[in-house]
Amino acid sequence: MISDFSVPEFIFREFLLWLLVQSEKRDGSFELAGEYVSFRVEDQLKLEGEGDVRQTDLKKGVPSISGEAKSALQDGKLPTKMRVRLVVGGDEYLFVLDSKLMEIRGVKMPVVPLTERELRMEQRIFHLSQIYRMLELLFREFANFRLDAESWAEQVKEINRWLQEKPF
């Protein structure tokens, strides 16, 4: 399925950073394949990098707009885990996105008010594939910028400007 090369992990950390900044700048609103979705970073953000303190764990409150998060980012750390609230067409999902494995954990999805197990299972699988579909659409948007040097340079400037803004 896949060639014998691998995409380095920093690409996925950059993806998480881009998601974090975009969700703050767009107030969580994204248009993906003609659909409006809400993507917000919730109460958990882990940043990792080099330096004396290599890991910053921010929990509770609103880590994405905190001074601690911006300070860690300015120190060169990048997000490796974040808790996300995704809303697609009225369906709300909560999950932790991990850049190292690109896996989702602690996934909470809408309660399926059906008694028949076949239908319940079908709904659960639909919701799971919905989360992955949205993540793939978001990654595609990120990759479009990342693959074009000029567009990505603009994105980097935008991220840097956001980092310089004073936290609330």
Q: Which residues bind other proteins (CB under 8 A)?
A: 1-3, 5-12, 14, 17, 73-76, 78, 99-109, 112, 117-118, 120-122, 124-125, 128-129, 132, 135-136, 139-140, 143, 146-147, 152, 156-157, 159-160, 163
CB of 33 to other proteins, least distance (A): 12
Query: Rounded distance, CA 115 to CA 26, Å?
Result: 39
Closest distance to other proteins from the beta carbon of 112 (Å): 8
Tokens of 30: 């994204």
DSSP string, 83-99: EEEEEETTEEEEEEEET
Q: How far is the CB of 3 from other proteins (least distance, A)?
A: 6
User: Residue 89 is inside which H or E element, if any?
Assistant: none
Q: Supply the minimum distance, in Å, between the C-beta of residue 29 and other proteins.
A: 21
Q: Count of alpha carbons within 13 Å of 135, Cβ hemisphere only? A: 21
- SS3 label, residue 113: coil
Q: What is the DSSP letter of 112?
A: -
Closer residue to other proteins in complex, CB, 6/89: 6
59 or 105, CB closer to other proteins? 105
